[in-house]
């Protein structure tokens, strides 16, 4: 996992799938629009701020942490994206899920825009796919009305979403016959 931090908080987490393809969800690694949006920011994984992020993520992945107490640097997000991600971060806790449409409504980001709810849900899906701080901002907890939905694109991302939802007790563990 690649972690980017600034003096104001976590700016990116990028999980890599088994082939290093970024399929674990999230965006915003160095050289991406999310990282570039913080002009002059010192993005590094070699200081104590990044070490704190790494430690809390390790505790979460080991099943020993349910909440993160890390600051998020929201400067890499704007407008509806920021409203949706902040709402998700603030309201959907460990072991809970929300649908794309419900999150669109909760965020209030689309209240002034005419349009059908399905289009708003798709917009939220796009926001989840481009979220710079995955796991800490729990995009994996946003699901489709009729199922799990996607995560980070491709099969590796979906497998990651299933794993995270299983870790949190949302999905039952499956038997591995391999």
- We report the CATH number of the domain holding residue 116 as 1.10.10.10
Q: Is residue 54 part of a domain?
A: yes
Between helix 117-129 and helix 100-107 the angle, nearest 10°, is 90
Q: Is residue 47 part of a domain?
A: yes
Q: What is the dihedral of CA 166, 170, 172, 176, to 10 degrees?
A: -20
Per annotation, catalytic residue among 139, 143, 156, 164: 139
Mean pLDDT on 108-136: 87
pTM here? Answer: 0.80
Q: Is residue 15 part of a domain?
A: yes
Domain residue limits at 103: 2-167
Task: Determine the pLDDT at residue 112.
Answer: 76
At which residue do the structure tokens 């979403």 appear?
A: 161
Task: Determine the pLDDT at residue 18.
Answer: 43
What are the tokens at 144? Answer: 């489709």
Question: What residues have CB less than 8 Å from 145, skipping those under 6 apart?
Answer: 99, 100, 101, 121
Total domains present in the chain? 1
Task: Determine the pLDDT at residue 113.
Answer: 73
pLDDT in tens, 50-78: 889 999 999 999 999 999 999 999 999 99
Q: Is residue 11 part of a domain?
A: yes
* Band (178; pLDDT cuts 50, 70, 90): low
At which residue do the structure tokens 């920011």 appear?
A: 41
| DSSP secondary structure code for residue 94 in this structure | T
pLDDT in tens, 34-55: 444 443 445 444 578 888 999 9
Q: Is residue 173 part of a domain?
A: no
Task: Determine the pLDDT at residue 174.
Answer: 82
Max distance between CA atoms of the chain, in angstroms, equals 51
On whether the CB atoms of residues 169 and 159 are closer than 8 A, the answer is no
Judge whether 139 counts as a catalytic residue. yes
Q: Is residue 32 part of a domain?
A: yes
% of the chain surpassing 70 pLDDT: 79
On whether the CB atoms of residues 89 and 134 are closer than 8 A, the answer is no
Burial pattern 96-133, b for ≥16 Cβ within 10 A else e, equals ebbbbbbbbbbbebbeeeeeeeeebbebbbebbbbbbb
pLDDT in tens, 93-119: 999 999 999 999 999 998 877 667 778
Q: What is the mean pLDDT of the chain?
A: 82
Is the per-residue pLDDT at 32 higher than 90? Answer: no
């Amino acid at each position: 996992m690649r972690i980017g931090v600034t003096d104001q908080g976590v700016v990116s987490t990028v999980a890599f799938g088994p082939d290093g393809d970024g399929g674990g969800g999230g965006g915003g690694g160095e050289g991406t629009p999310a990282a570039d949006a913080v002009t002059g920011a010192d993005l590094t994984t070699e200081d104590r701020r990044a070490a704190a992020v790494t430690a809390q993520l390790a505790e979460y992945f080991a099943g020993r942490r349910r909440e993160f107490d890390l600051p998020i640097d929201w400067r890499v997000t704007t407008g509806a994206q920021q409203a949706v991600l902040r709402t998700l971060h603030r309201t959907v806790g460990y072991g809970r899920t929300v649908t794309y449409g419900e999150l669109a409504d909760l965020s209030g980001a689309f209240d002034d825009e005419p349009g059908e709810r399905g289009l708003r849900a798709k917009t939220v899906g796009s926001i989840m796919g481009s979220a710079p701080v995955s796991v800490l901002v729990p995009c994996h907890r946003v699901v489709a009305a009729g199922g799990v939905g996607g995560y980070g694109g491709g099969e590796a991302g979906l497998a990651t979403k299933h794993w995270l939802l299983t870790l949190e007790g949302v999905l039952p563990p499956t038997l591995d016959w391999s």
